[in-house]
Amino acid sequence: MDRTALDRVLEIGFEVAGEWLLEDGGPVVELSRYGSAANVLYAFVSSDELLYIGRSGRSLRLRMDGYQQGGPPRSTRARNRERILAMLMVDQPVEVYALPDPGNLHYGSFRINLAAGLQHSLIESLQPPWNDTAARAAPARPAKSMRRPTPPPRPAADDSHGYTDLTTDRPSYRFLVGYHYLDKGYFNVPLRYSRLFGGDQEKIRILCGRERDTIHGHIDRATNTNASPRIIGGRKLKRWFEDNAGLNNPVDIDILAPNAVWLRNPGTRF
């Protein structure tokens, strides 16, 4: 049986150090050990999936406090805080694992910084989805034609075609990214799933891809004549469709909560 990424970091000494909790609408870390350890490697794990590997020269507690408080919008702290929050909002656990530097490793008379030396190798070998690197960024977008394609007729929002139910442990289905979805950054929900979503104009979190990056959207129940939900993600969802799925390609959707969905497996054919 193949070893998972989590199995491999456990083999080299990573241990559970705490967990993230949801309090007053924000993520709060609760560390049970290694809080004062400095020069430490740490990892975020959910349901045995290794999500992120990081390093702190300061104490683990101070580093986690940084995530708790957030940071500039494009910073790693801000992105990971949002990802942690999105998972906690839909009852997905996020644990903190840690590997402190023993401090006794030397090469001749020179001390070896274990965390600094090991971090890059771990990320390169295990490729945790939250470790964003240029090498694993979204593929370059093809040059756009100067002529806009002629849009197909606007489909009605019904259950007769365009959707395939999936067998998972939560409500899920597959849809095709049509012209209007790609052009405007939205998608319709089949009527048979309508009751699982929130009300008109309520906010919704759209988790995208393996990385579970979050787009903040809203639910529109006024546009479709049968009041089935239209999930509006705007420019950010439009960009995600363009970069990851493309026109007339499938995307799987898991309904996590009335105000949270997860778009995954973009471009995976039937």
Selection from 52, 56, 41, 55 nearest residue 127 by Cα = 52
Which of 32-36, 130-134, 145-149 shows the lowest per-residue confidence on average (mean pLDDT)? Answer: 145-149
pLDDT of residue 228: 94
Phi-psi region of 234 (alpha: psi -120 to 50; beta: other; left: phi over 0): left
Averaged over 68-85, what is the pLDDT? 86
Averaged over 72-84, what is the pLDDT? 85
> What whole-number distance in Å separates Cα of residue 204 and Cα of residue 258?
8
Domains located in the chain, CATH noted: 5-133 (3.40.1440.40), 163-264 (2.40.330.10)
pLDDT of residue 106: 66
Which of 58-67, 132-141, 166-175 shows the lowest per-residue confidence on average (mean pLDDT)? Answer: 132-141
Distant-in-sequence, close-in-space partners of 223: CB < 8 Å, separation ≥ 6: 230
pTM of the model: 0.64
pLDDT in tens, 162-195: 666 665 556 889 999 999 999 999 999 999 999 9
The β-bridge relationship of strands 260-264 and 203-208 is parallel
pLDDT over 90 percentage in the chain: 54
Distant-in-sequence, close-in-space partners of 23: CB < 8 Å, separation ≥ 6: none
pLDDT in tens, 209-264: 988 889 999 999 999 999 999 999 999 999 999 999 999 999 999 988 888 999 99
pLDDT at 111 over 90: no
Averaged over 83-108, what is the pLDDT? 83
pLDDT of residue 200: 94
